Amino acid sequence: MINKPISRRSFLKITGLTIAVSATPFGYSVINASAQKEGSFNPNVWFEITPNNKITMTMGPSEMGQGTHTALGMVIADELEADWKQVRIVQGPASEAFKNPAMGDQITVASASVRGFYEPLRKAGAAGKTMLVKAAAQTWKVPEEECIALNGTVKHKKSNRSLTYGQLCLTAAKLDLPKDPPLKKEAEFRYIGKSMARVDIPDKVSGKAIYGLDVKVPEMLYGVIARPPAYGAKPVSFDQKAAEGVKGVRNVFPTPMGIIVCAQSLDAAWKGRNALKAQWDKGALPQMDNNFIEKTFMDELEKAGAEAIKVGDAKKALGEAAKKVEATYFVPFVAHATMEPMNCTAHVQKDRCDVWAPTQAQLVFRMLASQFAEVPPEKVQIHTTLLGCGLGRRAAPDFMIEAVVASKVSGKPVKLVWTREEDIKYDFFRAATCQKIQAGLDGQGRLIGWSHKAIAGSIMKDIDPKGIINGVDIMSLWGILDFPGAPTNNKIMYEIPNFYVEFLISSLPIPVAPWRSVQNGPNAFVIECFTDEVANAAGKDPLEFRLQHLKNNMRPRRVLETVAEKAGWGKPLPKGKGRGIAQHCCFGSYVAQVAEVSVNQGNGAVKVDRIVAAVDCGPVVNPDTIKAQIEGAVIEALSTTLKEEIMFSNGGVKSNNLDDYKIIRMSEIPEIEVHIIKSNEPIGGIGEPGVPPTAPAVANAVFNATGARIRRIPLTPQTVLAAIQKK
Amino acid sequence: MISLNVNGKTYKVDVSEDVPLLWVIRDHLKLTGTKFGCGIGECGSCTVHIDGKAERSCAIPVGKAQGKRITTIEGLPENHPVKRAWIKEQVVQCGYCQPGIMMQVAALISSKPKPSADQVIHAMDDVICRCGTYPRIKRGIKAALETMKKEG
């Protein structure tokens, strides 16, 4: 019934782009990750010690504000027993050597960088230290056991001699890698577990930091794209001559994404784009607006879904339940809206391709750049800049492909720039979802059955369609259900004997992608609000009810108990105020939050006064970064809880810029407290797990304050007032 | 030819008068610390000082900036209380919006050395940080004000 929108994948089918490239070749400095270099000690791709006593650490993951470069540097430096002052950290190239063992790819997503590299980098650092100690022992002809590494030097106490790592590095480079180097005990940590200043901050404060949009390449043109206003719309007419006639415009050419204009300045490119006066047809689904979308979700939810999991017999349990609860929830589309709009600079030459990109996915970018530039992958250099926020958006390669195509056609380096309007309208949104849950309670108020039906756009569709198995996209269900055996626990942690989940893929032509915490965010809103409804039906306190269903799940129990104690759960609040609780596990970390809100019963305005969070992410590398990530996650989640919703009209996106797509600002943020729980459990991620509990904690607090249960975000004054009046 | 005074230096640029000041600063003067966020003066990433006042360079045609004293993040001294406070309090995450936010703060505290909480919120509600560094921006402002008081 519904045609597919212009597919990013269809770009792969572009032909006819074999236009001669005749630019003068010039080189770029590239860090080669795979070559073992002479003249230094570089036992792996991650660090290199040079005779000038400097240590250069080369990072595979992207730095987008999550503090990964500092944290991974701390892990290496600690086990290497390096002096932090001698360490310099640089961004690495695209390389198989940087594949994250937790992901099987060089990709900065799924809160996986420290989670995946913690153990390997501890070993890498420890191996380096062992070799440096051995090098010293050989130099002095003393037993290794008499030598100790200490803060960038090796010492021999008996003879009071010491050598720096710089002095030892060339000797160490000749030694074999130790098989199983001993790791430090926690008490011996020098950096891990201590709040360290982030290495990327000074340049960001001075203004020197280079993001994608700041890249400068000699002879570079600027590329912009006239894009269709509706999904699936094709150009009816455009005035190529008029655009080409604008001063400074160099190339104008149509592509499946739209009409690309390349010019000597951004101003000329935009003026050229205006001169196109492009007209488009109505697209795939011109009647689509928000009402149409919500109705389509509700209608399609009535169809039979694909079974995602079946434990016990939920249907039977519901039939035998002493009490049944049923509710339907809706979460709308929201945009990533990273502060740095999408952009990429590419230079395609006959035998090489350079790409400067704020990217979260170096190897995917390299593979696709190779295909579009028509040069072998080993001739593609991905230069990763800093990212002006990532949030998952920058793992998608669309903007990079555009830059490569623009450079290939124009024969020049091209910086392809999106405006904020394009960044919002052509986003791959956080997937909207509609979900219906039925739960059954026994006579003692215990959950005996849970039947869950969800519809959402497929996240895997554009990433890897093989990830959709028998109609079920587990990534779209993350938070309800994880891949079998996954250690990340992106799933409901409550102990429910009869559990059934079915899934439907939405037919709407709206592109979706991971958005900080992927679908853990929307799904936790549904699960944790519904859990509150069930607790209420059981006549139990929301905290007590949750704990009763986590008897054998120590980690979620502990975050709940901690947050309840720190937030003063159960203490009376003044009239008009309410308190709500929620917990969720994702990417191996457990977070619970308590929200305190004030609700204006007259106009429905919700003010969030306080959020208290407790987090168990296993071993702690940089506590200040953990706090910063939870604070940021809570605030971003609050923005979607209170304000954000993409508006559609005429088959396309109506939301336009930050004046109508509103993001939370300083006056709207609550006091936020973060409590980190000491834990010896396996390490979890930290960039995303702070997001999911916020929306349900706030909505549960609104229920506590008003008695109105709201099954939809954002909690705008109109939505809240309508719910209060309906009550 | 447009003549601009930026960070105490005079620049001559061959650009039409209607081009937003932001793009002249970034692409012609190569001062890329000033960022593009929205193009309509909503987010504050492009904030610079014009004759000492915080202004949105994305919404000002370069022709209107002639003859005025423009300061960008690069022109704010490295030992400026705001820059020091931003490092001390570890305010920054992705950092993209922060130059604009720091310029907003620098203008605020130079015009109001003892701002009330309301005055701070009023000024800071003009800027957006998607990473959600607002609690640390508040701390940073406090630290910068303390430094100013101590050092006079």
SS3 A258: strand
pLDDT in tens, A592-604: 999 999 999 999 9
Show residues of chain A in contact with B35, CB under 8 Å.
Answer: 211, 213, 339-340, 388
Highest CATH level, class, for A290-334+428-726? alpha beta
pLDDT in tens, A98-157: 999 999 999 999 999 999 999 999 999 999 999 999 999 999 999 999 999 999 999 999
Do residues B86 and B28 both lie within one domain? no
pLDDT in tens, A79-100: 999 999 999 999 999 999 999 9
Task: With CB atoms and an 8 Å threshold, state whether B37 touches A341.
Answer: yes
Show residues of chain A in contact with B14, CB under 8 Å.
Answer: none
Show residues of chain A in contact with B31, CB under 8 Å.
Answer: 207
Domain containing residue B33: 2-75
Among residues A66, A59, A51, A48, the alpha carbon closest in space to that of A98 is found at A59
pLDDT in tens, B58-111: 999 999 999 999 999 999 999 999 999 999 999 999 999 999 999 999 999 999
Q: Which CATH architecture has domain A47-206?
A: 2-Layer Sandwich (3.30)
Q: Are A261 and A224 in contact (CB under 8 A)?
A: yes
Predicted structure pTM score = 0.95
CB contact residues (below 8 A), chain A span 28-87, against chain B:
64-67
Show residues of chain B in contact with A666, CB under 8 Å.
Answer: 121, 124-125, 127, 134, 137-138
- Residue A639 CA to residue A668 CA, distance in Å, equals 9
Q: Does B139 touch chain A (CB under 8 A)?
A: no
> Of A195, A336, A339, which to mutate for an interface test with B (greatest number of B Cβ within 10 Å)?
A339
Show residues of chain B in contact with A658, CB under 8 Å.
Answer: 37-38, 40, 42-43, 128
- Residue A270 CA to residue A256 CA, distance in Å, equals 19
Q: Please compute the mean of the pLDDT values over residues B128-132 and round it to a whole number.
A: 98
Task: With CB atoms and an 8 Å threshold, state whether A663 touches B72.
Answer: no
CATH number at residue B136: 1.10.150.120
Do residues B11 and B40 both lie within one domain? yes
Among residues A576, A580, A641, the alpha carbon closest in space to that of A602 is found at A576
Q: Please compute the mean of the pLDDT values over residues A287-310 and round it to a whole number.
A: 98
Tokens of A117: 């590299």
Q: Does A335 touch chain B (CB under 8 A)?
A: no
Counting Cα atoms < 13 Å in the Cβ hemisphere of A299 gives: 8
Q: Does A632 touch chain B (CB under 8 A)?
A: yes
Tokens of A112: 């996986």
For A386, which DSSP code? B
Taking the CA of residue A225 and the nearest CA in chain B, the distance in Å comes to: 16
> Of A196, A205, A642, which to mutate for an interface test with B (greatest number of B Cβ within 10 Å)?
A205
Please list the alpha-helical segments (H only) found in chain B. 21-23, 81-88, 98-111, 117-124, 134-151
Residue in B39, B121, B130 closest to A389 by CB? B130
Is residue A330 over pLDDT 60?
Answer: yes
With tokens 């003009």, the residue in question is B126
Q: Cis before residue A256, ω within 30 degrees of 0?
A: no
Do residues B85 and B144 both lie within one domain? yes
- Residue A142 CA to residue A136 CA, distance in Å, equals 8
Q: Are A132 and A93 in contact (CB under 8 A)?
A: no
Supply the pLDDT for residue A609: 98
Q: Are A386 and A69 in contact (CB under 8 A)?
A: no
The angle at the Cα of A140, spanning A137 to A145, to the nearest 5 degrees, equals: 35
pLDDT in tens, A247-288: 999 999 999 999 999 999 999 999 999 999 999 999 999 999
Q: Tell me if A9-25+212-282+342-417 shares its fold with A47-206.
A: yes
- Please say whether the dihedral angle defined by the alpha carbons of residues B57, B60, B66 and B67, taken in this order, is positive or negative: negative
Residue in B27, B73, B96 closest to A388 by CB? B96
Task: With CB atoms and an 8 Å threshold, state whether A420 touches B37.
Answer: yes
- Residue A339 CA to residue A639 CA, distance in Å, equals 14
Beta strands in A193-234 (DSSP E): 221-226
Q: Does B15 touch chain A (CB under 8 A)?
A: yes
Show residues of chain A in contact with B85, CB under 8 Å.
Answer: none
Task: With CB atoms and an 8 Å threshold, state whether B83 touches A206.
Answer: yes
Supply the pLDDT for residue A184: 98
Do residues B57 and B110 both lie within one domain? no
Taking the CA of residue B94 and the nearest CA in chain A, the distance in Å comes to: 4
Q: Does A386 touch chain B (CB under 8 A)?
A: yes
pLDDT in tens, A158-173: 999 999 999 999 999 9
Q: Are A95 and A108 in contact (CB under 8 A)?
A: no
Q: Does B150 touch chain A (CB under 8 A)?
A: no
Task: With CB atoms and an 8 Å threshold, state whether A201 touches B87.
Answer: yes
- ipTM of predicted complex: 0.99
Do residues B61 and B86 both lie within one domain? no
Residue in B23, B94, B124 closest to A389 by CB? B94
The angle at the Cα of A6, spanning A4 to A11, to the nearest 5 degrees, equals: 125
Do residues B145 and B91 both lie within one domain? yes
Show residues of chain B in contact with A622, CB under 8 Å.
Answer: none
Q: Please compute the mean of the pLDDT values over residues A621-647 and round it to a whole number.
A: 98
Q: Please compute the mean of the pLDDT values over residues A540-567 and round it to a whole number.
A: 98
Number of domains observed in the structure of chain B: 2
Do residues B9 and B68 both lie within one domain? yes
Among residues A646, A419, A270, the alpha carbon closest in space to that of B43 is found at A419
Tell how strand A652-653 and strand A648-649 pair up.
antiparallel
With tokens 């502990």, the residue in question is A558
Task: With CB atoms and an 8 Å threshold, state whether B94 touches A669.
Answer: no
The angle at the Cα of A231, spanning A227 to A232, to the nearest 5 degrees, equals: 90
| DSSP H/E element including A408 | helix A398-410
Show residues of chain A in contact with B129, CB under 8 Å.
Answer: 339
With tokens 């508006």, the residue in question is A647
Supply the pLDDT for residue A32: 35
Supply the pLDDT for residue A695: 99
A649 exposure class (CB count in 10 Å sphere: 0-12, 13-18, 19+): middle
> Of A62, A666, A667, which to mutate for an interface test with B (greatest number of B Cβ within 10 Å)?
A666
Do residues B34 and B91 both lie within one domain? no
Beta strands in A338-408 (DSSP E): 343-348, 353-357, 380-384
Tokens of A584: 């969720």
Do residues B45 and B105 both lie within one domain? no
Task: With CB atoms and an 8 Å threshold, state whether B128 touches A204.
Answer: no
Supply the pLDDT for residue A36: 58
Do residues B8 and B70 both lie within one domain? yes
Do residues B54 and B109 both lie within one domain? no
- Residue A55 CA to residue A570 CA, distance in Å, equals 53
CB contact residues (below 8 A), chain B span 60-89, against chain A:
72-74, 76, 78, 83, 86-87
Residue type for position A680: N
- Residue A253 CA to residue A505 CA, distance in Å, equals 35
Q: Does A623 touch chain B (CB under 8 A)?
A: no
Task: With CB atoms and an 8 Å threshold, state whether A64 touches B30.
Answer: no
Q: Please compute the mean of the pLDDT values over residues B129-135 and round it to a whole number.
A: 98
Spell out the domain ranges in chain A.
Answer: 9-25+212-282+342-417, 47-206, 290-334+428-726
Taking the CA of residue A678 and the nearest CA in chain B, the distance in Å comes to: 23
> Of B2, B96, B120, which to mutate for an interface test with A (greatest number of A Cβ within 10 Å)?
B96
Is residue A17 over pLDDT 70?
Answer: no
With tokens 């309800």, the residue in question is A480
The angle at the Cα of A7, spanning A358 to A223, to the nearest 5 degrees, equals: 45
Among residues B108, B110, B105, the alpha carbon closest in space to that of B91 is found at B105
Task: With CB atoms and an 8 Å threshold, state whether A338 touches B130.
Answer: yes
Show residues of chain B in contact with A206, CB under 8 Å.
Answer: 33, 73-74, 78, 83
CB contact residues (below 8 A), chain A span 110-169, against chain B:
none
By CA distance, what is A214's nearest residue in B? B32
Helix crossing, A113-140 with A165-172: angle to 10°? 90
Q: Does A270 touch chain B (CB under 8 A)?
A: no
pLDDT in tens, A18-58: 222 222 222 222 333 344 578 999 999 999 999 999 999 99
Q: Are B96 and A340 in contact (CB under 8 A)?
A: yes
Is residue A590 over pLDDT 90?
Answer: yes
Q: Does A387 touch chain B (CB under 8 A)?
A: yes
Is residue A548 over pLDDT 60?
Answer: yes
Q: Please compute the mean of the pLDDT values over residues A389-396 and round it to a whole number.
A: 97
- Residue A468 CA to residue A458 CA, distance in Å, equals 8
CB contact residues (below 8 A), chain B span 35-54, against chain A:
35-40, 42-43, 45
With tokens 């490092």, the residue in question is B87
For B58, which DSSP code? G
CB contact residues (below 8 A), chain A span 647-686, against chain B:
657-659, 663-667, 669, 672
Does domain A9-25+212-282+342-417 fall into CATH 3.40.50.300?
no
Residue in A208, A213, A390 closest to B36 by CB? A213
- Residue A628 CA to residue A634 CA, distance in Å, equals 10
Residue in A265, A632, A667 closest to B133 by CB? A632
Do residues B118 and B138 both lie within one domain? yes
Residue A457 pLDDT level (bands cut at 50, 70, 90): very high
